[in-house]
């Protein structure tokens, strides 16, 4: 931004002295600055107007506009957990994004070309902050997709917002994500919608009266999910018998589960990421806890079945996406995904896939790979029909969508009836 203003000032000062001879030299400088990425500050640099950039090699900076006959070149950053104990989320997200990128680049040939720079956070806030700074300042991306966890978004959202770079969460389900600032978006259904849906639907079938809660106490998503579960349990008039917690990466839950077993609740509410959550479910069943188990968004990954095996049977979760949905759009996505990766997509892959489609639609609407124009186009999104449902944003850019309730049966999730 500073450099862009300096360039404009230089242009103006000299224009008044020797109009034409200097004009050519100035244009050369403007192009050179734009091509080396110095013009990338969020709004269109002077070199982006069609007549000025005609004849140059467009497509190397984040804010190159669409010039006659040239596609919009959009470089997008992706910040995912690609290693460590929650890596299956990031893998699904990368798969969904790559599939969408191939489809979109083929469908928009000559109009829009997307490239993606991936960064792995390992689930750590510090790594997420470094990744976002690198993407914004070095790679000069037009926008960022991710990060995977809400706790990471709370750390990096303010950084992207300050740098006026749109950041788009595809799996951040905690309340308050959009309050970070006007450049922060998400298409992931908040747990405040998904969790009560699952609990109410299950309540109508089982009419449980007592509940126990167990959650990860040092992860924003898990804590927020626990609070939503507790509030919903109270709203349903349930008697909460005990609340237990543990930390990320814990593997032994026998002390907490022993206390829960003593209380014999009708329903056990679990708020955790897939690894800890699946181990809790497994241990609970192995210890003889026979309560109905309801989980949160963290369980929407097939790793649950790998870790918990048969003990996952009966686990109830809400999700905006089911690969079983008999909708032509969903089935086309499921088939393309299976053909490419040899397995069915989960919700994380689906929301990533939709996220890039939304980004592409918004870039085409913006008419340029320009951070500010893209932000405005994203903010005006309405009735986007994705594989994970229909999406609009409310006035705070929160997604408005619906959750379906699923239950684990024979190693996969099927609609809850
Ligand atoms: C969040 C989540 C996690 C389950 C994402 C992997 O929903 O952190 O908000």
State the pLDDT at residue 211: 98
Query: What ligand 1 atom has the least distance to the C-alpha of 220?
Result: 8
**Which of 221, 224, 228, 304 for mutating ligand 1's site (highest number of atoms within 8 Å of CB)?**
221
C-alpha 256 – ligand 1 centre gap (Å): 23
- DSSP string computed for 63-96: T-B--TT--EEEEEEEEE--SSTTHHHHHHHHHH
Query: What ligand 1 atom has the least distance to the C-alpha of 149?
Result: 8
Structure token digits, residue 222 = 């898990």
| DSSP 3-state of 400 | strand
State the pLDDT at residue 395: 82
Chosen CATH of 192-319 out of 3.40.50.2000, 3.40.50.2300, 3.40.50.920, 3.30.56.10:
3.40.50.2300
- DSSP string computed for 214-247: EEETT-HHHHHHHHHHHHHHHHTT-EEEEEEEE-
| DSSP 3-state of 335 | helix
93 Cβ neighbours under 8 A, 6+ residues apart? 78, 80, 146, 148, 170, 171, 348, 349, 351, 352
**Which of 187, 216, 297 for mutating ligand 1's site (highest number of atoms within 8 Å of CB)?**
297
Tokens 């931004």 sit on residue: 1
Q: Which residues of the chain does CATH 3.40.50.2300 include?
A: 72-189+325-401, 192-319
C-alpha 148 – ligand 1 centre gap (Å): 6
Cβ–ligand 1 distance for 223 under 6 Å, the answer no
Cβ–ligand 1 distance for 93 under 6 Å, the answer no
Q: Where are the beta strands (DSSP E) in 176-301?
A: 184-186, 210-216, 239-246, 267-271, 292-295
C-alpha 177 – ligand 1 centre gap (Å): 12
Query: How far is the C-alpha of 18 from the C-alpha of 38, rounded, in Å?
Result: 25
Query: How far is the C-alpha of 310 from the C-alpha of 57, rounded, in Å?
Result: 58
State the pLDDT at residue 35: 36
Cβ–ligand 1 distance for 174 under 6 Å, the answer yes
Beta-bridged to residue 232, according to DSSP, are none
For the segment 339-384, what is each residue's pLDDT rounded down to a tens digit? 999 999 999 999 999 999 999 999 999 999 999 999 999 999 988 9
Cβ–ligand 1 distance for 149 under 6 Å, the answer yes
C-alpha 172 – ligand 1 centre gap (Å): 5
Asked, as a colleague might, if the bond just before 147 is cis with ω within 30 of 0, I would say yes
**Which of 174, 274, 298, 299 for mutating ligand 1's site (highest number of atoms within 8 Å of CB)?**
298
- Helix, strand counts (H, E) of the chain: 14, 15
72-189+325-401 has which fold? Rossmann fold (3.40.50)
Query: What ligand 1 atom has the least distance to the C-alpha of 296?
Result: 4
pTM for the full predicted model: 0.84
Query: How far is the C-alpha of 203 from the C-alpha of 275, rounded, in Å?
Result: 26
Cβ–ligand 1 distance for 301 under 6 Å, the answer no
C-alpha 221 – ligand 1 centre gap (Å): 6
Which residues of the chain are modeled with pLDDT < 50?
Answer: 1-64
State the pLDDT at residue 391: 87
C-alpha 77 – ligand 1 centre gap (Å): 19
State the pLDDT at residue 148: 98
Which sign, positive or negative, has the C-alpha torsion 8, 11, 16, 20?
negative
Cβ–ligand 1 distance for 298 under 6 Å, the answer yes
CA atoms within 13 A on the CB side of 173: 33
State the pLDDT at residue 382: 87
Task: Report yes or no: 95 and 122 within 8 Å, Cβ to Cβ.
Answer: no
For the segment 6-42, what is each residue's pLDDT rounded down to a tens digit? 333 222 333 333 333 334 434 333 333 333 333 333 3
C-alpha 8 – ligand 1 centre gap (Å): 43
């Amino acid at each position: 931004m500073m450099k862009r203003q300096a360039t404009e000032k230089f242009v103006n000062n000299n224009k008044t002295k020797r109009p034409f001879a200097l004009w050519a030299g100035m244009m050369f400088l403007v192009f050179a600055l734009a091509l080396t990425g110095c013009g990338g500050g969020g709004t269109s640099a002077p070199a982006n107007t069609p007549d000025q950039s005609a004849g140059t090699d467009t497509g190397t900076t984040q804010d190159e506009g669409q010039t006659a006959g040239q596609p919009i070149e959009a470089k997008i950053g992706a910040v995912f957990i690609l290693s460590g104990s929650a890596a299956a989320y990031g893998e699904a997200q990368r798969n969904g994004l790559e599939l969408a990128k191939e489809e979109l680049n083929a469908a928009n040939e000559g109009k829009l070309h997307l490239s993606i720079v991936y960064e792995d956070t390992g689930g750590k806030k510090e790594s997420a902050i470094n990744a976002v700074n690198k993407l914004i300042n070095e790679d000069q991306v037009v926008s960022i997709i991710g990060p995977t966890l809400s706790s990471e978004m709370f750390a990096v959202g303010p950084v992207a917002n300050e740098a006026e770079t749109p950041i788009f969460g595809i799996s951040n389900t905690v309340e308050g994500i959009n309050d970070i600032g006007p450049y922060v978006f998400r298409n992931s259904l908040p747990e405040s919608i998904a969790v009560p849906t699952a609990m109410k639907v299950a309540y109508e079938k089982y009419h449980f009266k007592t509940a126990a809660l167990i959650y990860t106490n040092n992860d924003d998503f898990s804590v927020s999910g626990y609070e939503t579960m507790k509030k919903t349990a109270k709203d349903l008039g349930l008697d909460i018998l005990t609340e237990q917690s543990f930390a990320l990466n814990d593997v032994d839950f026998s002390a907490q589960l022993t206390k829960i077993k003593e209380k014999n609740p009708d329903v056990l509410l679990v708020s955790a990421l897939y690894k800890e959550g699946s181990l809790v479910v497994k241990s609970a069943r192995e210890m003889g806890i026979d309560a109905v188990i309801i989980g949160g968004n963290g369980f929407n990954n097939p790793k649950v079945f790998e870790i918990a095996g048969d003990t996952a049977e009966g686990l109830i979760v809400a999700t905006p996406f089911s690969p079983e949905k008999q909708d032509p759009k969903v089935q086309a996505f499921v088939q393309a995904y299976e053909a490419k990766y040899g397995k069915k997509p989960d919700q994380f892959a689906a929301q990533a896939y939709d996220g890039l489609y939304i980004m592409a639609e918004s870039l085409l609407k913006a008419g340029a790979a320009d951070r500010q124009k893209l932000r405005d186009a994203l903010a005006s999104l309405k009735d986007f029909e994705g594989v994970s449902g229909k999406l609009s944003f409310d006035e705070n850019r929160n997604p408005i969508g619906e959750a379906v309730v699923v239950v684990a049966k024979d190693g996969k999730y099927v609609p809850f009836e």
